[in-house]
Every structure is written in C-alpha cells, then in structure tokens.
Structure 1
C-alpha cells in the first residue's frame, strides 16, 4: 500500500513527508478555536465540540466568535470571547485551531506558536489552498477521505474520529411508519423532485431546529434521505443512523467511511434523482430490508462516540490525557 502511494505521489510531483515518531510538539499554554459564526452548520458544532473535548481533557480552550456569543442550538460549555479580545489575549505560547479558509488572514496575524488547520470535510477549493506547507499550518482531519487526500498531497494529517452526541442515540422511540426525514438546505431542488415522484410519502422536514429537536425528529423517522453531493464527511447521515433511521441517498465524496451499500445504508450514485425515487419506493415497501439496514447502521455507529473522538483529538495534537480518565 505504501509503495503504491509513493508511486502515486511521484506521478503527481509530490513527496511523502516523513514524520519523526519521537518528535515532541510543544504543549500550548492555551488553546483557542476560531469560528466565523454560530449558525446551524456541522462545522460550527464540531468546532465547539473540539473546544469542549480539550477543556474536559485538562487543556483549557476558548472559542472565539465575531461577537463573542456562543451557539445555542446544541450543548457546549467552553468559554467564548470576541475575535477582538482574542487579538489582545493571544501569546506565542498559545495554539489556534480553525477550519474556515476565510479566517486564514486573521489567523496569520496572530502570534500563536501553533496554528492548526482543522480539516472538517467541507471539501472546498479553499481547503486545499490552506494545506500548502508554505502556509505553516499543522493539519488534523475529521474523516478518512480527507486524511487520505492530504496524504496524497504530501501532508500528514492525523485522523480524528467523528463522535456523535448521545442525544441522537435511538432508545426505542416510536417511529412514524414509512416516514422520510429530509434536510432542505442540503438540496431543495432534489427534495422537490423526490416529493413529486413520491407524492404518497410522508416527509419530515428538518430545518432551523436545535440539536435536541433535530434528534427527536430523526428518532421518529423510518428513513433519512442523504442528498449532499460534495461533502467529504456529512454529519446528518451519521447522526440519522444513530437515531435508528434507514439511510438512503448520495455518499457525497467521503460518505463511504460509514455508508456501505446494502450493509449500513442504501447508496445511490451522486445526483441520480430517479435512483433515489426507485430506492425509496423499494425500501418503503420492503420492511425486512429497511429494518435490517436500520439495525446494521445503528450497530456500526456505536463506534462513533464522543469519548473516542476525545482520545483521537488528543493523539492528533500530541497531548496526553489530563482529565484523570483512562
């Protein structure tokens, strides 16, 4: 595998960066996670999650948002300051984490000794510009696809396993028979086309809701329709599996990490609307397959815990656990 990877990199004019396994990274005095906003986006939630996991592990981490407010649509507890206050506080012994390419100019102006690009799987052109070694950022990555793509580009980015909060774990709540949960902001045109093709179906819309409300709706749905085509790792399908939904839809770019056709989900080629309608019709009328995929999906997501994410995050940042746990 490594020989094949080196050949692939050589053909693209890249070299595999060697890592000294004995290298010791400096432990920052303080961590800051810089976010562009607090809206209902998976990247915002993962940013706050990282801050909380570091804080809970004995490494104080403060979130910096434009106006100093925290996201209120999901649970989080790390301190929050304004970006202006961050400029006053930041020291050379500190570390900055960020994930939005648009924030790079602000990050570059700060004196922090460690600047860490958190590749969350948005898969934008800006993401790939940021990994240029000349930028001077360390990289960590949520999602195996992003980790692998960084490796192909000559960068080593430790993999941080995704964790799903327990609020999404299905505990036997009643399901609305033959219902399909959808998130319109992921692709309104796709949803309209599917609704026209399946006028008899019961669609449960999830839009602008808190994490608790979203989890409750997912737990009530039979199926979840995944329609994002470009994300390297989309949270909603994984959260839906935890909530006991049979997931059907597009794998996007990196969904194959947990969406496995006819094992944990029913996959449709990206952009195939007719395939979505046909697959939904089959699953709605075949409870044996629907329930089997639901169960294997839930079993697979037991691996995606917040505790596992915490351990992987510490390892990726070269830190030991100070929380007193194992």
Structure 2
C-alpha cells in the first residue's frame, strides 16, 4: 500500500519550515493518510514545539511510495529521477530554493518535473514563472489558532525575534531611543530561539511586535503576533506583502531601520492613546490572522492530496 513520506533534514534549531513539514504529516495522519516524517540517522528532530509524528528512518522504499522533498534539498532532488519514485516538492522558500536548488531541478528530463506544493500565492506564482507548465498546488501556511490566541494580562512592551536581522534589531532599538525618547523606557521581550509556547506567551504578554521578517515566502511570525493581540510594525520580508495592509500593521520598506523605528513609535503612540483607533487596528490584525488559520490550511491540504495521491489515504478518520 502506498505511503506518503515527507522528508526533512532538521538540525534541531528553530526553523519555521521544519515545523510546517511536521504539521503537514500530523494533519495528514489525522485525515487518514498513511503519512510519515522521514529523516536521516544524523538529523535532530525539533524539540522546540510539541508534535506527534510517526518517523520513517530507513531506506526501504516501496515502488508506490510518494516522496515529498523540501525545495532546498538539492542533493536529494538530484537523486530522485534515478530512484523511480513518485515525488512532490514542498516549497516554502522563494529565495533559498532559487539559490540552492534550481540547478538540481534543471537536471530533470523535459516535462518530468514533479508537482509542487506551495505555502502562498506569491510563491506559487514564482514557481509557475520559473517552471512553466509545472503543476503547483496551494496548501497555505498558518498562524495556529490552537496556540496563538489572545489571553492573559498585557504590559506595554515590544516583543521581537532578532534571529534573521540581528544588526537591524540593534539599530532600530538605538534609533527608537534617540529619535523617540518618549518610548525609550519601553521594555523589550526578546524571543530568540524561543519554543513555540514561549513565543505565544511573549506575544500574549506584549502590546507591540517588531517584525524583522527577511526574505520570506510568507513569514508567519507577524501573523502569530496579530493573532495574540499585538500591534505590529516593521518589515514584511517581501513575502509578507501577501497579507500586510495599512490596516493591520505599520509596515516599512525593507532594510530601512530608521523608518522601522518611526513606525514602531507610531504603534507605541497608538497603544498609549488606546480607544477606538487601537481597537480597530487590533481587529484588523485578528481578521488577518483568521484568514491564515489552521482550519483553512487543513481543508486545503486534504484537497491537495486527494488530487495528488488519493491512494495514500487508507481511511477517513485519524490513524493514531
């Protein structure tokens, strides 16, 4: 019987793409698909979020197995044509995929490129432009409402995760202190290498979130902050333009740290003033996060795999 094996090559560090691979496998098993999380013997399975997946750790494939590869796994993508297995590419990165894997994808025979699953519309459009005629399905990433939601007391504080932009984070902090001294005393909640639950707690307890998104296909961290009731300011990471509006955030051009400090000050002024304007801004954030929900993802994921590999579904209810 056909199995659905999502391969990943985790190092144990915080990587949103690794979380999404595991969430796919969990969701598919909940829908009755015979899905597995495939890793190599030297990979480190993430422990920074709670999950429950069945692992596939050997190399004994069946002829009807369906292998799902990350779009940045260039070595594995080069080997797939010679393995005789049905393959699907799970694409979460516009830029990393182009930088690492386009040469590997160019080795596929003409017209034989595997189907893609993309996490956002902009990414899907880029894949279609790069590989005309290739099948591209959409299973949107999500701000998990089971975890990221309002609750508890908030304090006036700025939550931020500087991992992708450490220099910019320090510059913005300095600019805010010098350009807007009225907000110099605001505390900063650093969410560096935080677990998923720590991230959610940090968002729920802070009024503000500085978005340091960079080179994203979507970038779900600002969506998670909105879902927890933060006023968001900062960068979209390009991919965040898919959800960023003038209503749901104080967005600025990429890399402009001075503008980011100014936007953060505007957001802090809004929080300090309160009233209908703040309520309107928060509601816009909640509504945006709802458009990127786990429920929406689950419906799309089921539709995608019933189209790509219905033979891997062995029952209509959960397997575990």
2:168, 2:192 → 1: CA distance?
15
1:237 and 1:247 in contact (8 A); partners too:
yes
SS of residue matched to 2:141: coil
Match of 2:201? Answer: 216
1:164 and 1:306 in contact (8 A); partners too:
yes
Which runs of 5 or more structure 2 residues have no equivalent in the other structure?
Answer: 178-183
1:92, 1:238 → 2: CA distance?
40
Q: Does 1:312 align with 2:273?
A: no
2:187, 2:193 → 1: CA distance?
19
2:74 and 2:104 in contact (8 A); partners too:
no
2:38, 2:317 → 1: CA distance?
27
Q: Decide whether aligned partners of structure 1 residues 202 and 32 sit closer, same or farther in structure 2, where only a CA change above 3 A counts.
A: same
Q: Does 1:242 align with 2:227?
A: yes
2:146, 2:56 → 1: CA distance?
27
Q: Does 1:81 align with 2:52?
A: no
Match of 1:174? Answer: 153
Match of 1:108? Answer: 80
- Which residue among 206, 214, 217 is the counterpart of 1:232? 217
Q: Decide whether aligned partners of structure 1 residues 130 and 253 sit closer, same or farther in structure 2, where only a CA change above 3 A counts.
A: farther
Q: 1:111 deviation in Å?
A: 3.6
Match of 2:40? Answer: 66
Q: 1:103 deviation in Å?
A: 4.5
1:9-48 to 2 correspondences below 5 Å? 29-37=2-10, 38-48=12-22
- Which residue among 83, 102, 123 is the counterpart of 1:146? 123
1:101-140 to 2 correspondences below 5 Å? 101-105=73-77, 108=80, 111=83, 113-124=85-96, 125-129=99-103, 132=106, 134=109, 136-140=113-117
1:151-300 to 2 correspondences below 5 Å? 151-153=128-130, 154=132, 155-177=134-156, 179-199=157-177, 200=184, 201-260=186-245, 262-287=246-271, 288=274, 289-300=277-288
Which stretch shows the higher mean deviation, 288-297 or 117-126?
288-297
TM-score by length of 2: 0.83
Q: Decide whether aligned partners of structure 1 residues 107 and 313 sit closer, same or farther in structure 2, where only a CA change above 3 A counts.
A: farther
SS of residue matched to 2:87: strand
Q: Decide whether aligned partners of structure 1 residues 130 and 274 sit closer, same or farther in structure 2, where only a CA change above 3 A counts.
A: same
1:140 and 1:158 in contact (8 A); partners too:
yes
Q: Does 1:56 align with 2:30?
A: yes
1:114 and 1:138 in contact (8 A); partners too:
no
2:295, 2:269 → 1: CA distance?
38
